[in-house]
């Protein structure tokens, strides 16, 4: 009771002091200016008290995009690592989406090539006549289902196979069932069922019919195992591998390399495949083109004896292997999902053979692996010491040679001990909680980009004027982000993602102008648009819908379209069309990556200066003043479009599945206002910025981004992790109107 009274006395005293300071500051210009700034920003007594104590506060003030609070703020800015990471993510995901659009065009031809070459493959299998019919049938069903998902017009000749493929396509599109179809054999301990929920289209793949079909087809090809121990399954994948062996290309080396490279597209971006794939199967075909089953099995099992060649992430509905050192038995997938370090980490920290009580991992494990002492202290588990040891042993996983690991290494800079010259508040618990939230928000965005290609886990059964703003004092982080942006740009360029699609974009603009001229006399053009969609490709329709948003007559709209087309002919992208053309045709992405690199370099320089108390020059002040607009352009907002941003910042990704609890999701909500009391010349300055709140929760069904946004706006919004509470306003984060 004495403690409670003491707290009440302190709170009352604090409020009295604040009132006196505010009163006297008006009369004698004494007391901190930031108090009146806080009132002007709408902060109440509880907010002010929390700012005085922790120097940092995340409020309920919400924005549609992270750059919004940096546009014309009357308070000095506080540039957060969250904002730069979000810009990287938007640009990175746009680039990967472009890569996936290109691959979506290649996959149907590859699958048709395989099916054509399956004819007569039996002649290349000596001594296994009893296995041939079943092995070939399995191959046709798996590849044929993927091709039917991509091309509804595909019809296999065999009627019995056709009916199976139709059933599978229906189940995949519905994405609800959990069963093992009869053609795959009876349920077994290492392959009990297929979880069809995994085929639910998520992430950016929902944005077009092409990407939607590609998602389902690739997810299907990633999910069907061809086990080395099973004669029919091993023979089936070897027969498929034979179809892309060198001798099948008739001396067309370019086509051979193109098809082979398709299966290793993501290695440098995200990491190696966790299972053997079709190219691996092709490499085991003898030079004479023959398939010798027993000989190949002996070689594969010898390779599987090396831990690095065995799967390290389980994604199947199955029981745990009897061998405690084995995650999953040696197997092939036609396309292998990639092994990410966090997925391997979660596999180890939820292994029922080691942790009988754990049903799911915790996002803080990622922060512990990245070196956060705060996260290490906040991990709660009945076997904490054992869990921390498992995480410690998994740390080398983060050193793989891929952009994914480079991204995580950059984020790890936020979790190091603060620079000795950093403000005192950065050494406190609240700031450490903020850093973990930022790191996990970044990781959630990365997993969102790789929702298809990353293998997902499944559970076994003041007086003077302050500067324009301050930069989160993490110069090493900004240096790493600059290096990461430069490396990402080089990798994407080598993958030909920046190849200009100008002619395609010009044709789309011309076609959209023709459509507008045809519809010019329609009283309500918007109502007429749906009737054109069957006969018109997606690009021109998107451009037409875009120009109709301009409040002007159709002649002005036509002039605008023709102007944009003429600009493209000279290699210049019209600013008002920059976002839609970049999104649809990948124009000018490389310049955005250069801008992100340069922005990171400038933030590093400003952070270094502010750490040692060196004043910023006019150019640096101007850079901070326009940081919001710079960030918006990097995030593909052309012209002044950032004044009306899209409400698409929230992202969600499922990372783990448990048969009772459902799917563990990680995600970010809408950007929230962040306030920081930054020490400056013996005073404290109230600064404003933004963070992206991190969420971690179970849901029975896998969520799309639109479903996640609906959940955020409903009464079923999940709670934030408890360890984030130190930086959140007392009333928590509800669902206010966004700005």
Whether residues 479 and 558 share a domain: the answer is no
Name the residue range of residue 470's domain.
Answer: 77-91+356-449+462-496+591-727
Whether residues 153 and 191 share a domain: the answer is yes
Whether residues 329 and 186 share a domain: the answer is yes
Do 344 and 454 touch, CB atoms closer than 8 A?
Answer: no
What is the structure's pLDDT at 514?
A: 87
Do 409 and 488 touch, CB atoms closer than 8 A?
Answer: no
Report the chain's mean pLDDT, rounded to a whole number. 88
Confidence band for 2, pLDDT divided at 50, 70 and 90: very low
Please determine, for residue 414, whether its predicted confidence score (pLDDT) is greater than 50: yes
Q: Is 707 exposed, middle or buried (0-12, 13-18, 19+ CB in 10 A)?
A: middle
17 in a structural domain? no
Write out pLDDT tens, residues 546-601: 888 888 888 888 999 999 889 888 767 787 887 777 766 766 788 889 999 999 99
Please determine, for residue 64, whether its predicted confidence score (pLDDT) is greater than 50: yes
Confidence band for 739, pLDDT divided at 50, 70 and 90: low
Write out pLDDT tens, residues 183-198: 999 999 999 999 999 9
Whether residues 388 and 259 share a domain: the answer is no
CA distances from 134 to 20, 142, 213, 230, 611 (A): 86, 12, 27, 12, 69
Confidence band for 8, pLDDT divided at 50, 70 and 90: very low
What is the structure's pLDDT at 559?
A: 92
Whether residues 130 and 228 share a domain: the answer is yes
pLDDT (average), residues 132-149: 96
Whether residues 287 and 395 share a domain: the answer is no
Task: Report the C-alpha gap between 245 and 114 in whole angstroms.
Answer: 10
- Both structure tokens of 71: 């546009």
Whether residues 472 and 506 share a domain: the answer is no
Task: Report the C-alpha gap between 241 and 250 in whole angstroms.
Answer: 16
pLDDT (average), residues 1-19: 41
Whether residues 361 and 377 share a domain: the answer is yes
What is the structure's pLDDT at 527?
A: 67
What is the structure's pLDDT at 16?
A: 40
557 in a structural domain? yes
Whether residues 606 and 561 share a domain: the answer is no
Total domain count for the chain?
Answer: 3
Whether residues 655 and 712 share a domain: the answer is yes
3-state secondary structure of 463: coil
pTM over 0.75: yes
202 in a structural domain? yes
Q: Comparing 13-17, 28-32, 90-94, 381-385, which segment has the lowest mean pLDDT?
A: 13-17
Indicate the residue among 526, 550, 585 that finishes a domain: 585
Indicate the residue among 309, 338, 367 that finishes a domain: 338
Indicate the residue among 541, 563, 585 that finishes a domain: 585
437 in a structural domain? yes
What is the structure's pLDDT at 7?
A: 41
246 in a structural domain? yes
Looking at the DSSP bridge assignments, the partners of residue 665 are 654, 697
Do 270 and 455 touch, CB atoms closer than 8 A?
Answer: no
Please determine, for residue 636, whether its predicted confidence score (pLDDT) is greater than 80: yes
Confidence band for 530, pLDDT divided at 50, 70 and 90: low
Q: Is 324 exposed, middle or buried (0-12, 13-18, 19+ CB in 10 A)?
A: exposed
603 in a structural domain? yes
What is the structure's pLDDT at 314?
A: 94
Whether residues 406 and 486 share a domain: the answer is yes
What is the structure's pLDDT at 359?
A: 86
3-state secondary structure of 632: helix
Non-local (6+) Cβ contacts of 251 within 8 A are: none
What is the structure's pLDDT at 27?
A: 37
Whether residues 488 and 618 share a domain: the answer is yes
pLDDT (average), residues 250-257: 94
Between residues 544 and 475, which one has the greater pLDDT? 475
pLDDT (average), residues 233-238: 96
Write out pLDDT tens, residues 498-526: 765 677 788 888 988 888 888 777 667 76
């Amino acid at each position: 009771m004495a403690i409670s009274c003491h707290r009440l006395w302190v709170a009352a005293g604090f409020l009295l002091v604040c009132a006196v300071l505010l009163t006297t500051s008006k009369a004698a210009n004494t007391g901190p200016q930031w108090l009146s700034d806080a009132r002007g920003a709408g902060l109440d007594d509880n907010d002010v008290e929390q700012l005085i104590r922790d120097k940092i506060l995340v409020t309920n003030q919400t924005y549609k995009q992270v750059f919004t609070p940096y546009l014309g703020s009357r308070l000095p800015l506080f540039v957060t690592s969250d904002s730069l990471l979000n810009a990287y993510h938007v640009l990175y995901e746009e680039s990967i989406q472009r890569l996936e659009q290109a691959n979506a065009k290649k996959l149907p031809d590859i699958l048709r090539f395989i099916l054509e070459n399956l004819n007569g493959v039996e002649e290349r299998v000596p001594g296994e006549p009893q296995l041939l019919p079943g092995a070939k049938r399995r191959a046709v069903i798996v590849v044929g289902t993927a091709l039917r998902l991509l091309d509804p017009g595909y019809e296999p000749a065999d009627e019995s196979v056709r009916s199976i493929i139709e059933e599978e396509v229906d189940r995949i599109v519905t994405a609800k069932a959990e069963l093992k179809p009869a053609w795959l054999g009876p349920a077994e301990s290492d392959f009990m069922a297929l979880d069809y929920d995994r085929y639910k289209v998520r992430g950016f793949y929902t944005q077009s019919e092409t990407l939607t079909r590609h998602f389902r087809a690739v997810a299907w090809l990633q999910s069907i195992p061809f086990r080395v121990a099973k004669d029919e399954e091993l023979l089936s994948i070897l027969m498929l591998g034979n179809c892309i062996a060198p001798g099948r290309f008739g001396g067309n080396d370019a086509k051979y390399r193109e098809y082979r490279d398709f299966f290793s597209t993501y290695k440098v971006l995200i990491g190696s495949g966790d299972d053997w794939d079709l190219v691996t199967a092709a490499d085991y075909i003898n030079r004479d083109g023959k398939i010798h089953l027993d000989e190949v099995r002996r070689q594969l099992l010898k390779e599987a004896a090396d831990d690095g060649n065995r799967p390290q992430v389980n994604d199947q509905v199955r029981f745990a292997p009897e061998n405690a050192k084995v995650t999953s038995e040696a197997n092939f997938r036609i396309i292998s999902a990639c092994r990410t370090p966090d997925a391997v980490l979660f596999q180890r920290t939820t292994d029922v053979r080691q942790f009988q009580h754990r049903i799911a991992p915790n996002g803080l494990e990622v922060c512990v692996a990245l070196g956060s002492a705060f996260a290490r202290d906040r991990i709660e588990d009945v076997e904490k010491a054992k869990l921390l040891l498992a995480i410690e042993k998994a740390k080398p996983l983060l050193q793989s040679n891929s952009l994914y690991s480079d991204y995580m290494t950059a984020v790890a800079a936020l979790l190091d001990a603060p620079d000795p010259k950093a403000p005192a508040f950065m050494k406190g618990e609240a700031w450490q909680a903020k850093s973990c939230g930022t790191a996990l928000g970044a990781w959630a965005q990365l997993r969102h980009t790789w929702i298809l290609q990353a293998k997902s886990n499944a559970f076994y059964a003041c007086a003077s004027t302050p500067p324009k703003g301050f930069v989160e004092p993490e110069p090493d982080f900004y240096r790493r982000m600059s290096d990461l942006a430069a490396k990402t740009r080089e990798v994407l360029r080598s993958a030909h993602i920046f190849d200009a699609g100008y002619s395609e974009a010009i044709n789309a603009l011309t076609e959209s102008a023709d459509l507008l001229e045809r519809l010019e006399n329609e009283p309500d053009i918007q109502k007429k648009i749906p009737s054109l969609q069957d006969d018109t490709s997606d690009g021109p329709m998107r451009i037409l819908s875009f120009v109709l948003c301009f409040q002007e007559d159709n002649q002005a709209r036509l002039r605008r379209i023709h102007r944009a087309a003429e600009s493209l002919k000279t290699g210049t992208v019209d600013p008002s069309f920059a976002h839609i053309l970049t999104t649809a045709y990948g124009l000018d992405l490389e310049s955005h990556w250069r801008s992100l690199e340069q922005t990171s370099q400038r933030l590093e320089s400003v952070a270094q200066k502010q750490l040692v108390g060196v004043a910023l020059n006019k150019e640096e002040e101007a850079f901070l003043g326009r940081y919001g607009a710079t960030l918006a352009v990097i995030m593909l907002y052309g012209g002044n479009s950032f004044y009306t941003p899209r409400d698409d910042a929230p992202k969600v990704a499922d990372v783990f599945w448990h048969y009772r609890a459902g799917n563990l999701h990680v995600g970010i909500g809408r950007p929230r206002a962040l306030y920081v009391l930054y020490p400056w010349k013996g005073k404290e300055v109230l600064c404003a910025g933004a963070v992206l709140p991190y969420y971690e929760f179970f849901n029975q069904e896998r969520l799309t981004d639109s479903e996640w946004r609906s959940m955020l706006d409903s009464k079923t919004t999940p709670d934030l992790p408890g360890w984030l509470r130190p930086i959140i306003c007392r009333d928590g984060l509800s669902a206010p109107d966004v700005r």
